Amino acid sequence: MKDIPVIQGFTRMCADGWRQNWHERNGGNLTYRMTREEAEQCVEFFKPGQWNEIGVSSKDLAGEYFITTGSGKYFRNVELDIAANAGIVEINEKGDAWRIVWGLENSVPTSEFPTHFMNHAVRKKTTDGKNRVIYHAHPANIIAMTYILPLKSKDFTLALWRSATECPVVFPHGVGVIPWHVPGTADIALVTCEVMEEYSAAVWAHHGLFCSGADFDETFGLMHTIEKAAEIYMKVLSSNAKVRQTISDDNLKAIAKVFEVKLNSNFI
C-alpha cells in the first residue's frame, strides 16, 4: 500500500501539515475521495469490516471510497505507520453508512467524518466532481485573526487579499467565516456546508481553517497561502507601526485582469 501513489500523497500531506506546526496533539483531520482507478489499485489489500451509520446521508456519495485520518490519531505519526493512524472506508449504496476496508487498526475514522462527508457532498456538487480533498487544520495566525476582526467573510477576505499579492489569484472567491461552534457537532457541520457552497475555504472562529480542493497540492497550497497571508497581517498589526501603503482595490482589479480570475464582486 505504501507504494501506491495516492497513499503516498495522503501521507506526505499529513507530514507536511505536521511540519508546518498546524497539528498539535491529535488536532486536525484529512479526508480524500478516491477515484475508481485509485480504489482499484488498492482493492487487493481490502478486508471489509462491519457497517456503521454515519448519522448523515448523501446519495451522491453512495459507493465512494475515502482515505481518512483516524479518530484521536496524531498527524505526526501517519508517515511512521499509516495503517495505524489512517485508512480507507467504503460508503454503502444508500450513502448513510461506512465500513473500514483497510487500515484504521484499532481505530475509526476521524470524529469529524460526518462533517467532512457532508462537505464532500457539497463540494462534489458545486465543482462538478472536481474537488476531492477536505482538510482541517489549526494554523495559529488565521486563528489569531478571529479575535480581532469582525467575523465577516468580507473583512477576512480583504485583509488576506491585501496582505499578499498572490492571494486574490489563489482564492478569488474569498474565504467564508463561521462564528464559534462546538466542534464535532451537527451545528458546525451544517453551517460549514452552507459556507462551502460558495467558498473553498472556511475560517472556524477560534478554532482553525477548513479547506477543499481538487488534489493534495491544491488543497495544501490553499491552506498554506491563507496562513502565510494571515501571518503577514498579524506581523504588521503587532509592529504598531503606521501602515503607509497597501494593495489597493485598483491593484486587486489589475491582478484579476492579468491572471484572468474573477474576484468576488461582493467584496470589491
How far, in Å, are 87, 203, 252 from residue 158 at the CA level? 38, 14, 10
Which of 64, 112, 218, 231 does the annotation list as catalytic?
112
Q: Which three cell numbers stand for residue 264?
A: 468576488
DSSP secondary structure letter of residue 60: G
Mapped onto helix, strand or coil, the DSSP state of residue 199 is coil
For residue 84, the number of C-alpha atoms closer than 13 Å in the C-beta half-sphere is 7
How far is it, in rounded angstroms, from Cα 88 to Cα 72?
A: 16
Whats the size of the chain, residue-wise?
Answer: 268
Bridge partners, 32 (sequence order): 67, 133
Task: Tell me which residue has cell 474537488.
Answer: 131
* 227 classed as catalytic: no
Residue tagged 487579499 (cell numbers): 161
Q: Which three cell numbers stand for residue 104?
A: 484504521
Pairing of strands 201-204, 176-178: parallel
Return all residues near 37 (Cβ < 8 A) that are at least 6 apart.
none
Closest alpha carbon to 2 in 105, 135, 103, 129: 103
233 and 159 in contact (C-beta within 8 Å)?
A: yes
Active site residues: 112
